[in-house]
Structure 1
Amino acid sequence: MHGPVHAPIRRTKIVATLGPASDRDGVLDALIAAGVDVVRLNFSHGAPEDHRRRLVAVREAAERHGRTVAALGDLQGPKIRIARFAEGAVHLDEGQAFVLDMSLERDAGDAHRVGCDYPTLAEDVAAGDVLLLDDGRLELVVERVEAPRVHTTVRVGGKLSNNKGINKQGGGLSAAALTDKDRADLKTAIDIGVDYLAISFPRSAADMQLARELLGEAGQDIGLVAKIERAEAVADPETLDDIIRASEAVMVARGDLGVEIGDAQLIGVQKRIIQRARTLNRAVITATQMMESMIGAPLP
C-alpha cells in the first residue's frame, strides 16, 4: 500500500479575466478545474449587474470544486481616447497632417481631424512630442499646439477607427488615476464583494493612498493592486518602490506600459518591477496577451 500522494504547492497563480465568453454553460467550472486562482472583473466593460452575476456564479462554481477563488475588480482608470469618425474609420497616410480637436463634435471625425475625450490634452503636449494611437500602431508627431487643437504629422500611418486609445511616448499626461466612473465602480466593487481592487495608471503612491482612503471611508479594507502602466511610475526607483509599498500587489500591465516606454525597454523594466516587488514582499502579476503570445510559442 502506498501512502497518499501530495501534489506540490503551486506558487505561481493564474488570473483569468471573465467576460461574455465565460458566461457559457460549463466554462466557469472548466476554468476552475483547470486551476484558475483569481478571476478578474474588468470594469471597463459591462454593467454592475453583469459583474455581480458573474461573481455569484464564480462563488458557486468554486464551492462545487472545493476551491477558494479570489475576485479582482479592475477599475478602468483614465484611458484617454479619440472620439468617433463620421464613417466609422479612416486611413491615415505617412506624412499627412492630422488634428486632434477637443472642440470637435464627438461623431464628426474625418481623415483630417478627430475629437478627443481628454479636454486638457493641449496643455499636456508640446511640439516634438510623439502621440501613439491604438496601442502604438499609429504614431503622430506634434507640430504645434493651438488650444483646443493639437496639430500633428503622421509618422506611422494605418487604419484608425472609433474610440482608440491615446498615449504620450515617455508619459506626461496629467489625467487623474481615479475618474468619476472609477469612484462609482469602486462602490460597485465593494457592494458585490471583490477581494482585491486594481488601480489603473497610478503615477505615484498618492494615487494608491487616495483609493485606500475611499475604501476606508466605506469601512472596507480590500487589498489594492497597482497596475504599473505609466512611464512616470517607473521613471525613478523611489517612485516605483513607493507605489509597490502602498499596495498589496502590483500588476505589470505590459500593453500600455510598452506603448509609453517602448518595447525595447519593456522587458528590462518588467524584470525590475518583478524584482522590486519580490524584494518588498509584494505579490506581482504579469499581464497582457499571456495566452495570445503562446499561440505559436511554448512560453509566454
Structure 2
Amino acid sequence: MSRPRLNEARTKIVATVGPACDSVDQLAALIEAGVDVFRINSAHGSIEQHAEKLTNIRAASDRTGFPAGVLLDLAGPKIRLGQLPQEPLACPLGARFAFVRGADSQEEGELTSTYPRLIDELEPGDRVMLADGTVALQVESVTPSRAECVVVAAGEIRSRQGVNLPGVKLSVAAMLPSDIENAIWAAQHEIDFISLSFVRTAEDVRSLKDLLNSYECQSLVIAKIEKPEALDNLERIVQEADGIMVARGDLGVEIDVAETPVAQKRIIATCKRLMKPVIVATQMLESMHHSVRPTRAEASDVANAVLDGADACMLSGETAIGSYPRESVATMDRIMHKTEESMPRGLSASPGNHDELYRQTQAVTRAGMEVAEALGSKLITIATHSGGTAWVKSNTRSLIPTIAVSDHLASVRRMNLFWGIEPIFCEDIADTAHLIEQVTRWACEQTENGQRVIRPGDTMVVVSGSDVVEGADNVISVHTLS
C-alpha cells in the first residue's frame, strides 16, 4: 500500500542520500520503508551531483505517489585537515605536530588546514580535536607561521577530516562562498528545507533568510546546533529559525560529551515551547552501517528522542554509505512506532507560543481535537493552503490519526517534517464535497492485518485553515464516512 499510511510512525524520518541509495529504485524503496524527507549533504559533491540526486528523488516521489521533502544541508565553515604526507597518520601520545600556513606540508610533523586564519586565532592552551574528537592536540606555542601542538589523546588521522576547536572564538563567516552558491541553487530549484551548519547567533540565520528572500524562496531554514555559542544564544536562534537540528556529531566534540544528552533535551524543550520543529541527528543507528540490527543502546537512543518530543530523527551514513539503507529506515520506523504506542493519549499541554499570529488557529485546532476525542473519531483532516494549521495541530501531540490536505505541492512536501501529520495533495480543498470524497477514498484503502482501519459510519473531524472557507478564518465540521 502506497504512503501515507495510518499505521506508520508519527515521528518523521530524514534519510541522507549517498552512493548506497541514490538510484530511483533505491529511493522509492526508502520512501515505502518510511522516509519522509531526503537530505542532500552539500559537503560532498558538486552542484551537478546535487541536481542529479534531486532529479532522482522527485522521480521516486512520482513513482510512489508520495511527495517526499528535500533538505539541502549547507556545509558551513567546517574546518578540515589538508593533505597528509601519509594515510593514515599515527598520532601517539606525547607526539608533536605543528599547524603551518598554506595548503601543503613541507616537513614531517607539519599539518595544514582549509582555514587560512587558523594560526592567527589559536592561543597556547587551546585544544584542537581531530577525527570526530578521537584525537586531541593541545597548543603549546604560537608564532606568526606555526602553532606547535602536543598529542594529549592518541589515535589516527586522515586527510580532509574535520577539525574542531572547542572554546575558540572564530571570526569565519557563517556562510562561505560555496554555501551561498549552493543556497542560490536550492532557492532556484524549490528545495523544501535548507539547513545552516555551525550557527552561532540568530544573525547567522537571518543572513541565510535574507539571501533566500532575495530570490523569493519559501524554503524553511533549519539551524544546526553544534557550537557552544549556539547554546548560549539558543532562545534567539530558535525564534529566528523555521526549525532546528540537534547535530550531535560536532556538538559532542565542541562541548563535553557528557553534556550532550542534557543539551539535546534542552534544545528539544526550547523548540517545543516556541513551536519549532526539531530534528535529532547523528549516529542514531550507527552500527547499521554494517549490521542488519541496531544495538540496544541505539534503539533506546531513538526511543528517547521520540519521548523527548523530537519531530524527526535523521539517518546519515546509515543510508548514504551503509550496507543496509532500507533496513535502517524500516528499523527506525518500527522503534518510533512502538515508542509512540506507549505515549499518553489525548492532548498535550498547550504550546507556549501565544503569538497573535497563532492564537486563533491554536484555539480552533485544539477545539477540533477535543471534538474528535469526545466523539471517538477515527480520523482528523486538516484542510490547509500553507500547512500552518497542520503545524499547530502537530504541536498538540494528539495520537488521533491526522491527514493534512493541501492544494500546494510545496506545502505538502514541507508538512512531511510535521510530527503526526500525513500530508496529501488535493486540487481543490475549498470544495468540501471534493475534499471529503478524496479523504474517504484514501481512508478506505487503509488496512491493518487485512482489516480496514476506518469503516463506514466512523466520524471524521475536519478543521479548515484560514482562507480555505470563504468568509471564515477557521472552521470545524464533523462528517460521517460513507
Q: Normalising by structure 1, report the TM-score.
A: 0.91
1:275 corresponds to which of 235, 251, 269: 269
Q: Considering only CA atoms, is the larger Rg found in Structure 1 or Structure 2?
A: 2
Report the Cα offset of residue 64 of structure 1: 2.4
Alignment partner of 1:247 is 2:241: yes
In the alignment, structure 1 segments of 5+ residues that lack a partner are 1-5
Counterpart of 1:261 in structure 2: which amino acid? I
SS of residue paired to 2:259: helix
Structure 2: distance between partners of 1:84 and 1:228: 28
Structure 2: distance between partners of 1:84 and 1:154: 19
Structure 1: distance between partners of 2:52 and 2:117: 37
Match for residue 151 of structure 1?
A: 148
Match for residue 300 of structure 2?
A: 299
CA deviations on 1:17-59 (whole Å, 9 max, x unpaired) are: 0112112462111100011100001111112222222222222
Asked if structure 1 preserves the Cα contact closer than 8 Å seen for 2:24 and 2:56, the reply is no
CA deviations on 1:148-198 (whole Å, 9 max, x unpaired) are: 311111101222221221111235233211001101111121233211100
SS of residue paired to 2:34: coil
Asked if structure 1 preserves the Cα contact closer than 8 Å seen for 2:80 and 2:162, the reply is yes
SS of residue paired to 1:142: strand
Structure 1: distance between partners of 2:106 and 2:39: 34
Report the Cα offset of residue 284 of structure 1: 0.2
Alignment partner of 1:37 is 2:36: yes
Report the Cα offset of residue 11 of structure 1: 3.0
More helix by share: 2
SS of residue paired to 2:86: coil
Match for residue 159 of structure 2?
A: 162
Report the Cα offset of residue 8 of structure 1: 5.5
Match for residue 97 of structure 1?
A: 96
Counterpart of 2:121 in structure 1: which amino acid? D
Counterpart of 1:292 in structure 2: which amino acid? E
2:132 corresponds to which of 115, 135, 146: 135
1:199 corresponds to which of 161, 182, 196: 196
Structure 2: distance between partners of 1:25 and 1:221: 26
Alignment partner of 1:259 is 2:258: no
Bigger mean CA deviation after superposition, 267-276 or 149-158: 149-158
Counterpart of 1:76 in structure 2: which amino acid? A
Counterpart of 1:173 in structure 2: which amino acid? L
CA root-mean-square deviation = 1.7
Structure 1: distance between partners of 2:25 and 2:166: 43
Asked if structure 2 preserves the Cα contact closer than 8 Å seen for 1:226 and 1:247, the reply is yes
Structure 2: distance between partners of 1:87 and 1:292: 27
CA deviations on 1:179-227 (whole Å, 9 max, x unpaired) are: 0110111112123321110000010000000001111112212110001
Asked if structure 2 preserves the Cα contact closer than 8 Å seen for 1:102 and 1:118, the reply is no
Bigger mean CA deviation after superposition, 267-276 or 112-121: 112-121
Match for residue 54 of structure 1?
A: 53
SS of residue paired to 1:33: helix
Match for residue 3 of structure 1?
A: none
Match for residue 288 of structure 1?
A: 282
Counterpart of 1:210 in structure 2: which amino acid? S
1:208 corresponds to which of 175, 183, 205: 205
Report the Cα offset of residue 107 of structure 1: 3.5
Bigger mean CA deviation after superposition, 285-294 or 148-157: 285-294
Asked if structure 2 preserves the Cα contact closer than 8 Å seen for 1:277 and 1:284, the reply is yes
CA deviations on 1:132-157 (whole Å, 9 max, x unpaired) are: 01110110111111123111111012
Structure 1: distance between partners of 2:251 and 2:119: 22
Asked if structure 2 preserves the Cα contact closer than 8 Å seen for 1:85 and 1:109, the reply is no
Counterpart of 2:242 in structure 1: which amino acid? E
Report the Cα offset of residue 292 of structure 1: 1.0
SS of residue paired to 2:12: coil
Alignment partner of 1:116 is 2:113: yes
Match for residue 172 of structure 1?
A: 169
Equivalences, count: 290
SS of residue paired to 2:156: strand
Report the Cα offset of residue 293 of structure 1: 5.2
Match for residue 377 of structure 2?
A: none
Report the Cα offset of residue 131 of structure 1: 0.9
Match for residue 469 of structure 2?
A: none
Report the Cα offset of residue 86 of structure 1: 2.4
Report the Cα offset of residue 111 of structure 1: 4.4
Structure 2: distance between partners of 1:80 and 1:14: 28
Asked if structure 1 preserves the Cα contact closer than 8 Å seen for 2:8 and 2:34, the reply is no
Structure 2: distance between partners of 1:48 and 1:17: 16
Structure 1: distance between partners of 2:220 and 2:266: 23
Counterpart of 1:29 in structure 2: which amino acid? A
Match for residue 350 of structure 2?
A: none
Asked if structure 2 preserves the Cα contact closer than 8 Å seen for 1:92 and 1:111, the reply is no
In the alignment, structure 2 segments of 5+ residues that lack a partner are 289-293, 302-482
SS of residue paired to 1:57: helix
Counterpart of 2:300 in structure 1: which amino acid? L
Counterpart of 1:266 in structure 2: which amino acid? T
SS of residue paired to 2:94: coil
Identity %: 38
Bigger mean CA deviation after superposition, 184-193 or 268-277: 184-193
SS of residue paired to 1:213: helix
Structure 2: distance between partners of 1:274 and 1:123: 36
